[in-house]
Amino acid sequence: MTHRTLIQDLAALPDGPVTVAGWVETVRDQKKVQFIILRDESGAAQLVNPATRPSTDSGAQEPSEAPAEGPGSAAALALTESISALSHGTFVRVTGELKHDERVKLGGLEVKIGTLEVVSEALETPIAADSSLDKRLDWRFLDLRQPKQSLIFRVQTTFLHALRTVWVEKGFIEIQTPKLMASASESRAELFQLEYFETVAYLAQSPQFFKQMAQSAGFGGIFEVGPAFRADPSFTSRHATEFTSIDTEFSWIDSHEDVMALHEELLAAGFQAVADTHGDEIREFFDVEVTVPQRPFPRIPLAEAKRIVAEQGYVIPRADDDMDPEGERRISQYVRETYGHEFVFLTDYASSIRPFYHMRHEGDPSLTNSYDLIFNGVEISTGAQREHRVEVLEAQAREKGLEPEELSFYLDFFRYGVPPHGGFGMGLARVLMLMLGESSIRETTYLFRGPTRLLP
């Protein structure tokens, strides 16, 4: 097979023969010359062909009488005609001569076409860059050909690689937990139930139970990047019924402060890698400057955060003790103005709105050793120290309306010994949405799933 050179690698090659392949982005079919902008997974390059067209002179040769080779040959005529017929999105393979020329605006080089093979012809595209988001999602595979869209997932790859590097260097173990469960991992709300042979199963809302099992197993630090499911009929810009969750859990912590410290380290490493690798492209396509967050991140107890927001004239209308989206936006604005920071940990959440497995404050069971991480006005993560005393877990489960008998497999983890531990779960698409200044996680999810979307 002829060796294909990625477009991003052309600049490092000397002038000479090359083979490139990708899809046709544009064709400029002029009278004496033809240009193709060819794009592959790594970038775009200009291809050029001196157009050869049948002469209109009365004494001209018929195409069938054209010479076998040369500017007026049958092959040259055929190449010109085939380029004229190319449609946007058609995949082609081209062999030609690479020439470096600083006058060429696109990369300072071009490839003079020798041969062109149409590998897969495309119909007229049904979407454009300015099509509605829903229409672009209907044709997501075409939408992702746009360099701005594909950049999102190169950023995602760089970000996750940086996180994995931190975990691996700390000796953490990567695990893959099951997504079919016999009982709820959080509560019975927002559960997808499905038939499972002679019984029923539930799609995992999080890997929480299995992350904690790894602590009982003696793994120490673990991490997972995998799907989670919430039967939430929300149509907001930050909710999905299936999403990618970034999770970690580790042993021998003293408090949730240890979890926040790891969380900061991971995010700082991820943002640094993205800024270093993609900063220029992100500025070009998203008009965003990726800022590497300084450590430590600001920390504000939830009660204080609500007081700050109230002093600014906004009283959270919720009946529970949680922060609402407007409150998150306002506390983020306060943190930007006061600390110059895009992140803030809201700590010490009420036990009434936290899962049964969150450890409660020593001496004040109304509060938990937990936090939410807010990034540019949106919650991206919840973390906590976990309760590791089995008798306390059983009591707290009952308070939440859960029967310990239904959780027996989970509670067994704690009956045979488990160290103090904690961790967090974080939504990948939300982080990317806020990092890149996008308006919806639909843009930063490869294939979005919501209450009314199961295709493509």
**Per the domain annotation, does 445 fall within a domain?**
no
**Per the domain annotation, does 176 fall within a domain?**
yes
Q: Would the annotation count 230 as a binding residue?
A: yes
d(CA 410, CA 396): 14
d(CA 275, CA 283): 10
Q: Would the annotation count 427 as a binding residue?
A: yes
d(CA 1, CA 43): 22
Between helix 408-415 and helix 390-399 the angle, nearest 10°, is: 150
Residue for token digits 């809201």?
A: 346
Q: Are residues 153 and 111 in the same domain?
A: no
Q: Would the annotation count 186 as a binding residue?
A: yes
Q: Which of 418, 427, 426 is nearest to 213 (CA)?
A: 418
d(CA 43, CA 154): 12
pLDDT of residue 61: 44
- The residues with which 382 forms a beta bridge, in sequence order, are 372, 425
Q: What is the CATH number of the domain that holds 191?
A: 3.30.930.10
Q: Are residues 15 and 99 in the same domain?
A: yes
Q: Are residues 189 and 332 in the same domain?
A: yes
pLDDT of residue 71: 63
Q: Would the annotation count 386 as a binding residue?
A: yes
Buried/exposed 331-342: b ≥16 CB within 10 Å, e otherwise: bbebbbeeeebb
Q: Would the annotation count 221 as a binding residue?
A: no
Q: How many other C-beta atoms lie within 10 A of the C-beta of residue 166?
A: 18
**Per the domain annotation, does 72 fall within a domain?**
yes
Q: Which residues contact 193 (CB under 8 A, 6 or more apart)?
A: 200, 201, 202
If 0-12 CB within 10 Å is exposed, 13-18 middle and 19+ buried, where does residue 91 land? Answer: middle
- pLDDT, tens digit only, all 456 positions of the chain: 669 999 999 999 999 999 999 999 999 999 999 999 999 999 999 999 998 877 655 444 444 444 556 666 889 999 999 999 999 999 999 999 999 999 999 999 999 999 999 999 999 999 988 999 999 999 999 999 999 999 999 999 999 999 999 999 999 999 999 999 987 666 667 899 999 999 999 999 999 999 999 999 999 999 999 999 999 998 999 999 999 999 999 999 999 999 999 999 999 999 999 999 999 999 999 999 999 999 999 999 999 999 999 999 999 887 677 899 999 999 999 999 999 999 999 999 999 999 999 999 998 999 999 999 999 999 999 999 999 999 999 999 999 988 898 889 999 999 999 999 999 999 999 999 999 999 999 999 999 999 999 999
Task: Read off the tokens for 256.
Answer: 């949730």
**Final residue of a domain: which of 82, 97, 120?**
120
Q: Are residues 73 and 178 in the same domain?
A: no
**Per the domain annotation, does 76 fall within a domain?**
yes
**Per the domain annotation, does 331 fall within a domain?**
yes
If 0-12 CB within 10 Å is exposed, 13-18 middle and 19+ buried, where does residue 271 land? Answer: buried
Instruction: Give the total number of structural domains in the chain.
Output: 2
Q: What is the CATH number of the domain that holds 89?
A: 2.40.50.140
DSSP states along 96-145: EEEEE-TT-TTTTEEEEEEEEEEEE--PPPS--TTS-HHHHHHTHHHHTT
Task: Read off the tokens for 255.
Answer: 């408090």
Q: Are residues 52 and 152 in the same domain?
A: no
Q: Would the annotation count 238 as a binding residue?
A: no
pLDDT of residue 182: 86
**Final residue of a domain: which of 97, 120, 143?**
120
Task: Read off the tokens for 28.
Answer: 């400029």
pLDDT digits (tens, 9 = 90+) for 262-308: 999 999 999 999 999 999 999 999 999 999 999 999 999 999 999 99
Q: Which of 336, 428, 349 is nearest to 377 (CA)?
A: 336
107: left (phi over 0), alpha (psi -120 to 50) or beta: left
Q: Report angle CA 20, 21, 22 to the nearest 5 degrees.
A: 135
pLDDT of residue 57: 54
Q: Are residues 209 and 166 in the same domain?
A: yes
Strands 222-229 and 173-174: parallel
**Final residue of a domain: which of 120, 154, 173?**
120
d(CA 69, CA 258): 73
Q: Are residues 96 and 142 in the same domain?
A: no
d(CA 62, CA 77): 11
Domain that holds residue 83: 7-120
pLDDT digits (tens, 9 = 90+) for 308-318: 999 999 998 87
**Per the domain annotation, does 448 fall within a domain?**
no
**Per the domain annotation, does 442 fall within a domain?**
no
Residue 162's Cα: distance from chain center in Å? 14
Task: Read off the tokens for 224.
Answer: 């997972």
pLDDT of residue 317: 86
Q: Are residues 403 and 271 in the same domain?
A: yes
> Greatest CA separation found in the chain?
103
**Per the domain annotation, does 2 fall within a domain?**
no
Q: Are residues 52 and 139 in the same domain?
A: no
DSSP states along 301-347: EHHHHHHHHHHTT-----SSSSPPHHHHHHHHHHHHHHH--SEEEEE
Task: Read off the tokens for 1.
Answer: 């097979």
Q: Are residues 158 and 182 in the same domain?
A: yes
pLDDT of residue 188: 64
Strands 33-40 and 16-29: antiparallel
Task: Read off the tokens for 355.
Answer: 């899962």
Q: Are residues 76 and 169 in the same domain?
A: no
pLDDT of residue 321: 77
Q: Are residues 73 and 179 in the same domain?
A: no
d(CA 282, CA 284): 5
pLDDT of residue 30: 94
pLDDT of residue 58: 47
Query: Which helix (H) or strand (E) segment is 29 a member of?
Result: strand 16-29
